[in-house]
Chain A
Amino acid sequence: MKSWLVPTAFAIAIGALILIGSILPIPLLRSISMQLLQWGMILAGIAVLVGIGNLFAVHFSRVRRRQAGALDSLTLLVALLATLFIGVLGGPSHPWMQVAVEAIIVPVEASLMALLAVTLLYAAMRLLRRRADWMSILFLAIVVLWLLSSVSLPFLGEIPILSDWVRPWLLFSPVAGGLRGLLLGVALGALVTGLRVLFALDRPYGEKT
């Protein structure tokens, strides 16, 4: 007996049950569906804990072996344990947790986002040097046009034509159309993926297809 048969059978059965329970208003199916969804949430929460435990084990091993970057690992472990300790005991509303968020988490991540802004600016400036084709020029022109339509000049405010005509046209015509197509594609892809899993064409449960 093949090893992939049992997990695939479970996957097909649960998927079909959830699907039928979502379509047909059958109380039994709904209760089963509800129970399965709860199990799923529990498993996802435990998976987060497992992930945290794996992260802790890896860095703890690195600190114990005194490998390269052991100091960073030690810092991570200290911050992890401290946050965990504060979060478990005081919760998110604990003042120390708020200090951690306000003084550490938000500024650090905001700084990284600021670096992203600088990097994007640098890339835009050197785009035509790396790739001077019409697509790059068009892309760069759209970016500049979008920024100009969004910017407010000192003492002048928004640029009249750009902010009144160009920006709304860009937002609701080409951008909305493109994103709708993208969302439709994503939806179709999710549907096909679900069907393939239900028909056991894809078995992402421990064995390669």
Chain B
Amino acid sequence: MSEILCPNCGTPNPPEQDRCFFCQHALHPIVDKERVRPGLVPTEKSTSELEPMLPDWLRQAREAARSTTTDQEEKPEKRETPLAEPAASSDLPEWLAGLEAVARDEAQDEELPDWLREQFSPPSALAESPPPTPPAFTFQEFAPEAFAPDELGGVAQISAPEAEEADLMSWLRGPEEEAKPLDEVSDWLSRLDEPSPPSAEPPTTSPFLEEPTPPATGELLDWLNQATAETAAPQPPPSTEETPLPAVSPFAPAAGTSLDDWFAGMTEPEAALTRAEDRGLPAEDTFDLPDWLKSAVETAAPAETAPVSTEPSFPLDHLPSTGPGEGPTLPLQAAPPDSALPDWLSQLQAATAPPPKVEPFQQADLPDWPRSSKPSEAGPPPFGAETEPAGPVETALPEYLASFAREEASTTAPTPPAAPTELPRSPAFLAPQEEARPAASEDIFSLEMPEWLSAITPAEEPKPPFLEDLAPAELPSWVQAMRPVETVLTGAPTSLEEDVPIEVSGPLAGLQGVLPPIDVLISGKPKPQGLLLQASEAQQADALLLEQILNTEAQPKPIRSSLLIASQKTLRWALATLLVLTVLAVQIVGFRAIPLPVGLPIESNRALQVLDALPVNAPLLMIFDYQPALAGELEAVAIPFVDRLLGLRSPNITALSTSPTGMALAERFLTRLEQRYPSLENTFIRLGYLPGGVVGIRTFALYPRLALPSELWNRPALQAVQRFSDYRAMILLTDQAGLARAWIEQTGDQRQGNFLVVIASTQAAPLIQPYLLSGQAHGLLSGLPVGAAFEATSNLSSPVSAYWNAYHIALSLVVLLILLGGIVSLVARVRGRYSPNKAEE
């Protein structure tokens, strides 16, 4: 097909267009239906489940509106109010005023299809118009997609008289026609697609029908419209003209989204039984009826209405839903004019036209949906029940239809309605408790109620069992956006109990049940919680201790180190002064109270043996390896010994030193002896400084002449010395144990049994003692007592006698000070344990 039919109005459009030329409806399906975009036309969905969500005031308003419509039916003069200026508009709240305007505009511009306009033409015009060619009112298939809008839309062009006989469906025609194959129905439907032959005279008298024949809208309302036309066709023209079409329009259930109720009313037990009996069906033929229907048949009174034939359900997605839980598909009947109409329509028909011929009806022809449908006790009255007050048609009509109807009524003859009281009430808005509501609260909301509000049915309305299996209705986009929270919160109970609080503030003020009555949010301030720690006594003690430590750290401490340093310096100065003064006093006074030692110590007696063993004029090596600081101590010991040696053996002495200052000290040493031994100038050879430390000592031990090459080796005193072993004795003057060890060890193999006498300071003597005891050294002279002993045994003038008294007096003082100081320190230490501050001092 080169043209695209509008899914909304059925108007063929060029394929390049995206929207319908007439209704501006999107020609192409929206892929992303879930996304809500600005400007999108909300799809009409079942919103009746939102009825419980409405606030009380709105529900009351709606109830009042329904009551108002009932009264308006009773007072047809009220419908003469111009549509353009409804009386209720002035009393509407501001926020509903927009809805009213939008609803009115939509009713006038968009939602009112052309075919509906045709249907709203005066009955007189319809009666005068020749009956069109009866279309084959069949359905090709029951699939939702099979019900193309254009197919059903074409039904609207079928004239009512011809439709009486032609468009009866199989389930309406009786058992014999029911046996016809379905192909005929398809053929009939296929012929609907064909353009109907233009009639010479348009079968409409409505000003709307003066326009070109509208395309099929595709809505299911067309079918209903056609059914209404069929119903109205047999009516006599006079009566039809007098009856205002809007008041008796069968579109009420369709437009008023109470179609299920309407159908429920049709399947009322009593109505079904009545129809069955009217069609001559035996009571046993009700075996196909459900239980509820059977029981209803048994209890219900016979009705005067014609039997109802039903068709299998087909989708009604494009129709507004009629109650909560109703699925997108609802059973819709294609009843003959005299039997398939609702009770209110039948009553209207009864008032305006003779009852049509009724085809026999069989319960087996009922589709599944009426069988499974369960009548509700609180539901609408049975179809055709005369005892029930007929509700006004406009109650179920959407606003655009209602307004249109009023406008239509105003333009047509003000014929009083013949059967307004016979019209059934809109079951979608009726509740058992609402029926008893007085009409005093009627107000302007009766006509200006939005469509979505009109479509809402009370939650108490029983849900047909066949609808339980249906998928939940899809909410329109704008309703989804306004969906209350409780539908989102899982687990939140959705109750309409009266204890549900009413919002008193905020944008939801006045609404009840919008927010879930659960304690999601805790109002008010939280209870103050104590911040006191539950600390035990031990923890508190620790905290107190920590606090004390921190406070102690913060407190400045007096610096006592300066006092301690001053005290130490004073003590040092005192000690030094005491010692110096003691020595000076002894020297100055010339104290000689300390006797000289008589004999040499044990370790020094061997040196005397060496002196005795040395030959006269024997070459002798004398090493001056001591520091100038200890020159006084060593000279005090060595001078008496060398003096005795020089006096007894007159050796040829070769002097050297491994210290740079050694030869200077050697000259100082000889200076003391040259006065007594002038020959020393020739026999005392100064080889000088021996570099290299241990290496030099070893070299000298191996090659004396190569180690210290000098012309001195040519002197007569040294001519006998070619090797180290030529020295008959080696006298080592040292204050360092290391040097004594080096000389002893490096020259041990080269001495070849010659004597080694070590004259050491007191501090180095103990380290040399092992060599003496091991025989590597033959004599050890150390300490002032040795010099004093040699002095005592000789007449040499040595400094020993000058040092001796002062030395021992000072040494005695030192011992005394150490003892005294040790005791004082020990006592102070003991006292310090009990007094930490003094311990620091």
The one of B628, B631, B770, B826 that contacts A176, using a Cβ cutoff of 8 Å: B770
Cβ distance A156 to chain B, nearest Cβ, rounded Å: 9
Contact with A along B618-654 (1 / 0, CB 8 A): 0000000001111110000000000000000000000
Q: How far is the CA of A140 from the CA of B823 in the complex (A)?
A: 11
The B-contacting residues of A in range 86-123, CB under 8 angstroms, are 92-93, 97-98, 100-102, 105-106, 108-110, 112-115, 117-119, 121-122
Contact with A along B577-600 (1 / 0, CB 8 A): 001100000000001011101000
**Residues of B with C-beta under 8 A to A45:** 691-692
Q: Is the C-beta of B543 less than 8 angstroms from some C-beta in chain A?
A: no
Q: Is the C-beta of B688 less than 8 angstroms from some C-beta in chain A?
A: yes
Cβ distance A20 to chain B, nearest Cβ, rounded Å: 15
User: Does the CB pair B631–A110 fall under 8 Å?
Assistant: yes
Q: Is the C-beta of A24 less than 8 angstroms from some C-beta in chain B?
A: no
The chain B residue with its CB closest to the CB of A107 is: B628
Q: Is the C-beta of B825 less than 8 angstroms from some C-beta in chain A?
A: yes
The A-contacting residues of B in range 806-841, CB under 8 angstroms, are 808-809, 811-812, 814-815, 817-822, 824-826, 828-830, 832
Interface size class of A (residues with CB under 8 A): 35 or more
User: Does the CB pair B629–A44 fall under 8 Å?
Assistant: no
User: Does the CB pair A34–B664 fall under 8 Å?
Assistant: no
User: Does the CB pair B770–A122 fall under 8 Å?
Assistant: no
User: Does the CB pair A121–B668 fall under 8 Å?
Assistant: no
The chain A residue with its CB closest to the CB of B765 is: A171
User: Does the CB pair B629–A109 fall under 8 Å?
Assistant: yes
The chain B residue with its CB closest to the CB of A151 is: B811
User: Does the CB pair B691–A41 fall under 8 Å?
Assistant: yes
The A-contacting residues of B in range 760-815, CB under 8 angstroms, are 766-767, 769-770, 773, 783, 785, 804-805, 808-809, 811-812, 814-815
**Residues of A with C-beta under 8 A to B661:** 101, 105
Contact with A along B259-270 (1 / 0, CB 8 A): 000000000000
Q: Is the C-beta of A19 less than 8 angstroms from some C-beta in chain B?
A: no
Q: How far is the CA of A116 from the CA of B671 in the complex (A)?
A: 28
User: Does the CB pair A175–B769 fall under 8 Å?
Assistant: yes
The one of B571, B699, B829 that contacts A37, using a Cβ cutoff of 8 Å: B699
Say yes or no: A125-B818 contact (C-beta < 8 A), given A106-B668, A154-B593. yes
Q: How far is the CA of A43 from the CA of B692 in the complex (A)?
A: 8
The A-contacting residues of B in range 650-691, CB under 8 angstroms, are 660-661, 663-668, 671, 686, 688, 690-691
Q: How far is the CA of A42 from the CA of B828 in the complex (A)?
A: 58
Q: How far is the CA of A102 from the CA of B671 in the complex (A)?
A: 11
Interface centre among A42, A130, A144, A152 (most CB of B within 10 A): A152
User: Does the CB pair A48–B691 fall under 8 Å?
Assistant: yes
Of the listed stretches B367-375, B517-525, B701-709, chain A binds B701-709
The B-contacting residues of A in range 133-157, CB under 8 angstroms, are 137, 140, 143-144, 147-148, 150-155, 157
The A-contacting residues of B in range 690-746, CB under 8 angstroms, are 690-693, 695-696, 698-699, 702-703, 706-707, 741
**Residues of A with C-beta under 8 A to B631:** 106, 109-110
**Residues of B with C-beta under 8 A to A150:** 783, 785, 811
Q: How far is the CA of A128 from the CA of B820 in the complex (A)?
A: 11
Q: Is the C-beta of A129 less than 8 angstroms from some C-beta in chain B?
A: yes
The chain B residue with its CB closest to the CB of A132 is: B829
Q: How far is the CA of A34 from the CA of B702 in the complex (A)?
A: 8
Q: Is the C-beta of B546 less than 8 angstroms from some C-beta in chain A?
A: no
Say yes or no: A179-B767 contact (C-beta < 8 A), given A41-B699, A44-B691, A106-B668. yes
Q: Is the C-beta of B602 less than 8 angstroms from some C-beta in chain A?
A: yes
Q: How far is the CA of A35 from the CA of B575 in the complex (A)?
A: 55
Q: How far is the CA of A37 from the CA of B693 in the complex (A)?
A: 11
Q: How far is the CA of A48 from the CA of B219 in the complex (A)?
A: 124
Q: Is the C-beta of A40 less than 8 angstroms from some C-beta in chain B?
A: yes
User: Does the CB pair B629–A106 fall under 8 Å?
Assistant: yes
User: Does the CB pair A127–B688 fall under 8 Å?
Assistant: no
The chain B residue with its CB closest to the CB of A175 is: B766
User: Does the CB pair A144–B665 fall under 8 Å?
Assistant: no
**Residues of B with C-beta under 8 A to A97:** 664, 667
Q: Is the C-beta of B36 less than 8 angstroms from some C-beta in chain A?
A: no
Say yes or no: A110-B769 contact (C-beta < 8 A), given A140-B818, A152-B808, A155-B593. no
The one of B698, B808, B820 that contacts A151, using a Cβ cutoff of 8 Å: B808
User: Does the CB pair A121–B594 fall under 8 Å?
Assistant: no
**Residues of A with C-beta under 8 A to B575:** 118, 121-122, 125
The chain A residue with its CB closest to the CB of B761 is: A113
User: Does the CB pair B627–A109 fall under 8 Å?
Assistant: yes
Q: Is the C-beta of A172 less than 8 angstroms from some C-beta in chain B?
A: yes
Q: Is the C-beta of B78 less than 8 angstroms from some C-beta in chain A?
A: no
Q: Is the C-beta of B576 less than 8 angstroms from some C-beta in chain A?
A: yes
Q: Is the C-beta of B28 less than 8 angstroms from some C-beta in chain A?
A: no
Q: Is the C-beta of A158 less than 8 angstroms from some C-beta in chain B?
A: yes
The chain A residue with its CB closest to the CB of B598 is: A157
Q: How far is the CA of A124 from the CA of B823 in the complex (A)?
A: 11
**Residues of A with C-beta under 8 A to B702:** 34, 37
**Residues of A with C-beta under 8 A to B815:** 144, 147-148, 151
Q: Is the C-beta of A183 less than 8 angstroms from some C-beta in chain B?
A: yes
Cβ distance B812 to chain A, nearest Cβ, rounded Å: 5
The one of B597, B691, B770, B821 that contacts A158, using a Cβ cutoff of 8 Å: B597
Complex A-B, nearest 4 residue pairs according to Cβ-Cβ distance, in ascending order: A125-B821, A109-B629, A129-B825, A41-B692
Question: A residues touching B (Cβ–Cβ < 8 Å)?
Answer: 34, 37-38, 40-45, 48, 92-93, 97-98, 100-102, 105-106, 108-110, 112-115, 117-119, 121-122, 124-130, 132, 137, 140, 143-144, 147-148, 150-155, 157-158, 168, 171-172, 175-176, 179-180, 182-183, 186
What are 6 contact pairs spanning A and B, CB under 8 A? Answer: A43-B692, A92-B664, A121-B579, A129-B825, A144-B815, A144-B818
**Additional A-B contacts beyond A34-B703, A34-B706, A106-B665 (20; CB < 8 A):** A37-B692, A41-B695, A44-B696, A48-B691, A92-B663, A106-B628, A109-B628, A110-B631, A118-B572, A121-B818, A122-B568, A126-B825, A130-B825, A143-B818, A152-B804, A153-B594, A176-B766, A176-B773, A180-B770, A182-B767
